[in-house]
Chain A
Amino acid sequence: MSSRRTERLLNLVICLLHTRSFLTAERIRELVPGYDDAPSEDAFKRAFERDKEDLRDLGIPLETGTNSAFDDEPGYRIARRDYALPEVRLEADEAAAVGLAARMWTSATMGAAATRALRKLEAAGVELAPLPEGLQPRLESTDAAFPDLAEAVHDGRVVTFDYRTSAGGDESRRTVEPWGLAWWHGRWYLVGHDRDRDATRVFRLSRITTAPVPSGRAGAAHRPEGVDLTAIVASYDSAAPAQNARLRVRSGRGLGLRRRAASVTTGDDDWDIVELPAPDVSRLVDQVLPYGADVVVEHPPEAVASVVRRLKALAG
């Protein structure tokens, strides 16, 4: 079936791009090969309806209208200015950036989409040059949900998916008005309005466990004015104002902590005092524990208590 149908669709696109006036279904049936073998009027109408739907799904802007006020039957055409990718001229360094970007995706779906986009850009006038072999930035979207969510955001449709929260590992069904996707410290997040909780929520894509299902009409969900996606993700990441922690760090050790320190005071013995911005106690404890006996927390007291409790659990 498919190659004959593809042929009919290609001829239909050419015909509708070529015409300046709107063509009625009956006229299209005469002009486009492939409709003539429809055994009945009904069969033709069904086939034509399906073809129109497919063209629209592919993003081909099918216009409906009449040529004069006296026509009572609608006609169809495709306006070339809506159809065609505008000419794009990129400087060599711009084209290099685009070429590099297109090969970043590790996901096959997004990688294929990027390749299709490159072929279209080339057809629209962009010249791509070979890229340096060793330069390989990558964009992980092991997150299978990425393409579906991106489409839902773009169409403004509500999405439903199962989500595993970090703490308990519990899964729950979430219904969200999606506002956008944000890349934050190497991971993708969905930002939106959670309908069940009636509040703004941030979802890490790698914790979405089912394929997102869109529902409702397009445009039902839209981002409020002035929303800053990365600022919302950032506020979830570090809610508390920064306070400084005080650590005793053995000389020459704790390099990872020293690099982020607000100040380092060399002590008279084998230890230095390191002041470290630490907005979040549990994160501070996570950062300090790997250094074992080389780093001792002195402040804040709740961090000291947490370190001692956790070390006891491990020491047995």
Chain B
Amino acid sequence: MSGATEHLPRLLALVPWLLAHPDTPVGEVAEQFGVDERQVRRDLELIWMCGLPGHGPGDLIDVMYDGDRVSLSNADTISQPLRLTVDEALALVAALRTLLGVPGLVETDAVDRALAKLEGAAGGVGDDVAVATGDAADPDVVANIRQALVTGRRLHLTYWVPARDEATERDVDPIRVFTSEGVPYLVGWCRRVDDLRTFRVDRVLSLTTLDLPAEVPPEARQRALDAGLFTPAAEDRIVTLRLEPAARWVADYYPCETVEERGDGGLVVTLRARDDAWLRRLVLGLAGMVEVTAPAAVAAAVAGDAAVALAQYAPFGPAD
């Protein structure tokens, strides 16, 4: 794509946008269009040179500055934005559809209405993408968490911790709700440990909104909003796993420090494991497709776990 074909669409969007938002600071225009202020000023200089055939004084587009604020006039011909391109329409429609795929996160009804209204503007991309409604989390639980987040209320959770396979009770002040691969997560200030915790919403066994305001240390709020899904800690244990081809998905699912091809379709990965219980469950789940090459203590521990589990099958006799 040449410079002109990237530049022209921005100008054709900038003109109607400024007509609809007169007297906007140049800095805000820059932010809205994802360019720097210098570029906005250059764009406006160029626009000012353009207009109707004849190009007399009355034909050109007017650009007016009031201090740092800018307005446009005399641009009737291009006062409406160009239709959405395929990628623009798709970016909105696919995202709206995926919002529907996590029931409870937004008012489903509002998303449906928005999709219906955008159909005319979206040029029929709606048929190109389909989204299956996720069954990851209970819609009522998601909706209650969202409500508590927006209104600043404390939650009581009964939460299943898979690493220890136990249900825990805790009060949590919600800070952030996000989704990853279609699964909703809650980040909150957990009052049981007085620290930030991330909860997979599909592991919330039950939930009550308490009649108490959420109280989050400001520093923790910022940390929670800045953080991604995984925040490695210094004490994380680094583990090396040799994965058979059938266990390659591990590299897709978990953030690995290093990923190396074995040459036979398998991988050697290193990853961080904050929690030994989590790691042992991961390796047990991969039994037959994984070898723990380091550290030796983890390898011995999981071999022990496997032997204990195997003993349960003694009544069935040796399987082979």
Contacts and interface: CB of A to CB of B under 8 A. Distances in A.
Which residue, of A2, A101, A183, has the highest number of chain B Cβ atoms within 10 A?
A: A101
B111 interface: yes
A261 interface: no
Interface stretch (B102-110, B191-199, B230-238, B268-276): B102-110
Contact of B13 (A10, A120, A187): A120
B305 A94 contact: no
Given A101-B95, A168-B265, A7 B252 contact: no
A140 interface: yes
B90 A186 contact: no
Contacts of B20: 122-123, 125
B110 A58 contact: no
B285 interface: yes
B98 A123 contact: no
Contact of B306 (A93, A109, A315): A315
Contacts of B27: none
A252 B46 contact: no
Contacts of A289: 284-287
Contact of B130 (A1, A33, A118, A180): A180
A62 interface: no
A254 B313 contact: no
B106 A314 contact: no
Interface string B239-275: 0000001101100100000000000011000000000
A168 B263 CA distance: 11
A1 B95 CA distance: 37
A57 B87 CA distance: 13
A147 interface: yes
Contacts of B287: 289, 310-311, 313-314
Contacts of A138: 178-180
Interface residues of B, number: 125
B134 A58 contact: no
A194 to B, nearest CB: 18
Interface string A93-123: 1111110111011000111111111111111
A135 B224 CA distance: 12
Contact of B11 (A10, A114, A181, A186): A10
A313 B288 contact: yes
Given A167-B245, A170-B265, A308-B313, A120 B84 contact: yes
Interface string A75-98: 000001011111011110111111
A86 B113 contact: no
Contact of B85 (A59, A119, A124, A228): A59
Contacts of A184: 132
Contact of A293 (B47, B91, B312): B312
Interface stretch (A14-22, A38-46, A64-72, A208-216): A14-22
A8 B189 CA distance: 57
A226 interface: no
A255 B88 contact: no
B90 A83 contact: no
Interface in B162-214: 162, 165-167, 174-184, 203, 205
Contact of A150 (B86, B96, B120, B309): B86
A169 interface: yes
A290 B282 contact: yes
Contact of A98 (B86, B92, B249, B285): B92
A94 B34 contact: no
Contact of B312 (A17, A58, A296): A296
A234 B176 CA distance: 31
B120 A105 contact: no
Contacts of B320: 308-309, 312
B89 interface: yes
A259 B158 CA distance: 13
A80 B284 CA distance: 64
B157 to A, nearest CB: 14
B127 A58 contact: no
A255 B178 contact: no
B50 A31 contact: no
A316 interface: yes
A58 to B, nearest CB: 6
Given A9-B4, A122-B21, A138-B179, A150 B319 contact: no
A98 B175 CA distance: 22
A180 B183 contact: no
A144 interface: no
B265 A169 contact: yes
A173 interface: no
A248 B52 CA distance: 81
A6 interface: yes
Given A97-B111, A133-B225, A182-B129, A10 B46 contact: yes
B97 interface: yes
A230 interface: yes
The 10 closest A-B pairs by CB, nearest first: A186-B181, A186-B182, A169-B265, A2-B3, A310-B288, A308-B319, A101-B95, A123-B16, A84-B80, A114-B91
Interface of B: 2-5, 7-9, 11-13, 16-17, 19-21, 32-34, 42, 46-47, 49-55, 77-78, 80-92, 94-99, 101-102, 105-107, 110-111, 113-114, 117-118, 120-121, 125, 127-132, 134, 136, 146, 149-150, 160, 162, 165-167, 174-184, 203, 205, 225, 245-246, 248-249, 252, 265-266, 280-290, 302-303, 305-313, 316, 319-320
9 contacts: A18-B53, A59-B82, A86-B121, A166-B248, A259-B205, A292-B305, A311-B309, A314-B306, A316-B303
Given A10-B47, A311-B306, 17 more contacts: A10-B12, A17-B77, A32-B53, A57-B5, A85-B84, A88-B117, A89-B117, A98-B114, A110-B90, A114-B92, A119-B17, A166-B249, A183-B97, A184-B132, A230-B130, A304-B316, A314-B306
